[in-house]
Each structure stands twice: as structure tokens, then as C-alpha cells.
Structure 1
């Protein structure tokens, strides 16, 4: 674990989280032209459903490459985010997104049960993301309906 060298405000932590989300929307490039990986501590952790836990920048790069390789585009809906501040290094962002996955397009709420709603739990210290756990349905195109009887009954996929 890294030694803390400076105190950050909640708004400063939020700015780092927003930079990360906007870089993801921009193909992994930050607003200054750097890599999204530059926003992470060397020993950071990222969790993504159905991928698992990535430890350190090298594994995080692989995770983002694997996930990003399935996306043609993604856009987070910044204006509707909910932010929760812990009073410490942890902040939570809840929001929606839309875009196009290799299997098809998605938009939060269309249909209501499908992908597009997400929640990210960040630990941000010293202007870097130490930890980001991503909670969402990774079935962006809504193809995984056979295993859920309530979706089949509702005519999912139509």
C-alpha cells in the first residue's frame, strides 16, 4: 500500500473519477492525451464482472483491452450521475450509459431490465485510482435471456 502524501477533497476525487470515465468513452485516452492507465496507481486493483480482479497496471491494461475490444462505442451519461462521498478516500458513482457492443447496441432503460445501469466504487488517493470495483450487467446486447425465465416470459429479445 502506498503512503499518503497529500489530502484530497471529495471534489478532487470526483474529478479523477470523471477523467477516468471520460477517458473510457474516448478509447482510453485522457483529456491531456495520456493513457487511461496513467490514472491508476502502479498497484491498483480493478474488478469487472465476468472478468475478475485485475491487480496492477499491466493486468488492468489487459482487462480494459479485453472489455474495450468488445465495444464499438460507449458513452456515460454524466449529467445524471449520483455521487456518494464517504468522507475518506472512497467515492461511489452511479449512472447510466449507452453505446454499441460487438453483439448489438444498448441504452439504459431500453428495455428496462437490460444493460446500461452501473455503479463504480473508487478509492482515490494522491490523484490516482487505487481501487475501482465496477458493478454492472456485462451482457451489453441483452443476449443472455435463456437462463432467466422471467425474461423469456416477457418476450425478451424482441
Structure 2
């Protein structure tokens, strides 16, 4: 197999990352109607907290089905994203979201300590996601407060 290296600009990488995030908001479908997995290289990797590392499209599909099966809806707040460009294949997106999880609703900042803030580190090459590591609190409904002394009694307010 030959290694292809199509040159990409930071804006092109950003457009792939945005298409990925918007695909989640659209129930796993990209803007042209393709499955979200079509944005990934065959041997891509995705890491999600409390799930682990998914290698290749088949495992990534399983990760997305497992996590997505717990989420009724999600909306990313695109206007407030922070983007960091490495000058290479890696870009970072930091942002907020809100939505509905099977355990309850979430919105970034409500309360301030709860879910909704996230950071994704992408490696995008040849117009495909090669790697994305997702950093967020997977306790979307904010129910896991008992193990954290500073959150004891905080579930009803911030």
C-alpha cells in the first residue's frame, strides 16, 4: 500500500472536524447524508473516557453506538469554539454543548461543575480523520457527585 499525502490547510482540517461535530448533532449523519464513519480513515483511532481506545472503523462504530445509545440529542455551540492549529496534521477544538442523556439533560455551565465542556484533539490527513481523542466528563446528567467531597449536596445547585 502506498502512503498518500495530500496537502491540507488548517481551514480544510477545521472543516473536516466541523463536519464530524455537526454529524453528531445530526444523529450520526454528515451534511451530504453519509454516515459519520465515512469521515474516518480505515485504521483511525478514537479514544473516549470510560470507554477506551477504538481502533479502526468497526470498533469506532461500536464506540459511537455505545455512547450514542445513551444520548437522545446533542448540540454543539459552534460560535464559541476555540481552535488550536499545530501547523501539521493535528488540530484541537475546545467548546461547549448541551443535550439530553438517558439520565437527564445537560448544558455547559449549568451547574458550572457539570458536563458540557469538552476538548477534542484531531489528527486529520488526506481529508480523513486519522485520530480523535475526546476529553470530557461522560457523566452527562451530573449524577456522580457522591464520590467527590466538594460536590456533596451540590446536585441541586452550584
TM class by shorter chain equals over 0.9
- Residue 2 of structure 1 and its aligned partner are, at CA, apart by 7.3
* Cross-structure match for 2:91: 91
TM-score (norm 1): 0.97
CA RMSD of aligned residues (A): 1.1
Where structure 1 has 5 or more consecutive residues not aligned to the other structure, the ranges are none
Inter-CA distance 2–54: structure 2 relative to 1 (3 Å threshold):
farther
Where structure 2 has 5 or more consecutive residues not aligned to the other structure, the ranges are none
* Cross-structure match for 2:155: 157
* Cross-structure match for 1:49: 49
Q: Distance in 2 between matches of 1:116 and 1:39?
A: 24
* Cross-structure match for 2:129: 129
SS in 1 for 2:42: strand
* Cross-structure match for 1:138: 138
Inter-CA distance 157–50: structure 2 relative to 1 (3 Å threshold):
same
TM-score (norm 2): 0.97
Q: How does 1:103-118 map to 2 (within 5 A)?
A: 103-118=103-118
- Residue 47 of structure 1 and its aligned partner are, at CA, apart by 0.2
Question: 1:100-137 CA distances to partner (integer Å, 9 max, x unpaired)?
Answer: 00000000000000000000000000000000000000
Q: How does 1:9-20 map to 2 (within 5 A)?
A: 9-20=9-20
Q: Distance in 2 between matches of 1:70 and 1:40?
A: 22
